[in-house]
Chains A and B, each alone.
Chain A
Amino acid sequence: DAKTTQPPSMDCAEGRAANLPCNHSTISGNEYVYWYRQIHSQGPQYIIHGLKNNETNEMASLIITEDRKSSTLILPHATLRDTAVYYCIVFTGTYKYIFGTGTRLKVLA
């Protein structure tokens, strides 16, 4: 079973920040938080990952709480092309990702 819990869907206005939450209360000390997104019927796209520090790249920012039991993916200026299913994954580095059902983000014009 997936070790993460995400809301099934969210809406965001175009140009605004999209904040996608993820709960992973049973995460272990050596487990990373990974985020992927999947645009309709395409392969999942890697976004960002982190262990305990906040991370930022050209796509997004990842904020991990101090107790590491939850995290938030931030898309700073959402566009229509960011409409997708976003998956939060806890990864031990032992070969497999366990996907949940993700959050379906809809960016509205």
Chain B
Amino acid sequence: ETGVTQSPTHLIKTRGQQVTLRCSSQSGHNTVSWYQQALGQGPQFIFQYYREEENGRGNFPPRFSGLQFPNYSSELNVNALELDDSALYLCASSYQGNTEAFFGQGTRLTVV
């Protein structure tokens, strides 16, 4: 097991609602990345945070936003949920963002 923990593990939301997912990075890691994985697909990069600043973003709309805190933990916020947002959301931490990343177990979000 990695030292990356995500909460909650499962979540059901209604279309139009907002959701916050949380991630605690592995000890010694200062970089957190978020990925979305739809069923049967590989993970897709959402964005990365390094030292509390966004350090790169994938092809996701602005209703996907994030934060990183001084202890390097992170949140992913999604506003105005759509049915297609149903997916496994993965958090990965690394040191400096250019070394191997370690993933958490993910949060399974279902939008109904």
Give every chain B residue within 8 A of A49 (Cβ-Cβ).
100
- Chain B residues with a Cβ closer than 8 Å to the other chain, count: 28
Interface size in chain A (residues, C-beta < 8 A): 21
CB-contact partner of A93 in B41, B50, B92, B98, under 8 A: B98
Tell me the complex Cα distance, A41–B39, Å. 9
Inter-chain contact total with CB atoms closer than 8 Å: 60
Cβ-defined partner of A43 (8 Å) among B41, B56, B97, B104: B104
Cβ contacts under 8 Å, B43 to chain A: 44, 97, 99
- A95 near B55 with CB under 8 A, answer yes
In this complex, the member of B42, B55, B98, B106 whose beta carbon has the largest number of chain A beta carbons within 10 angstroms is B42
Q: How far is the CB of B103 from chain A (nearest CB, A)?
A: 3
Chain A CB within 8 A of B24 CB: no
B101 within 8 A of A: yes
- Do A46 and B101 touch across chains, with their CB atoms under 8 A apart? yes
Looking at the assembled complex, report how far the CB atom of B94 sits from the nearest CB atom of chain A, in whole angstroms. Answer: 9
Q: Which residue of B lies closest to A96 (CB)?
A: B45
Contact partners of A87 in chain B: CB under 8 A: 42
Residues A97 and B98 in contact in the complex (CB < 8 Å), given A44-B90, A45-B103: no
**Hey, which bits of chain A sit against chain B, CB under 8 A?**
2, 34, 36, 41-46, 49, 87, 93-102
Interface residues of B (CB under 8 A from A): 2, 4, 31, 33, 35, 41-45, 48, 50, 55-56, 58, 88, 90, 92, 97-98, 100-106, 108
What are 27 A-B pairs with beta-carbon distances under 8 A? A41-B88, A42-B105, A43-B2, A43-B90, A43-B103, A43-B106, A44-B43, A44-B90, A45-B103, A46-B100, A46-B101, A46-B102, A46-B103, A87-B42, A95-B31, A95-B48, A95-B56, A95-B98, A96-B48, A96-B58, A97-B33, A97-B101, A98-B45, A99-B35, A99-B42, A99-B43, A101-B41
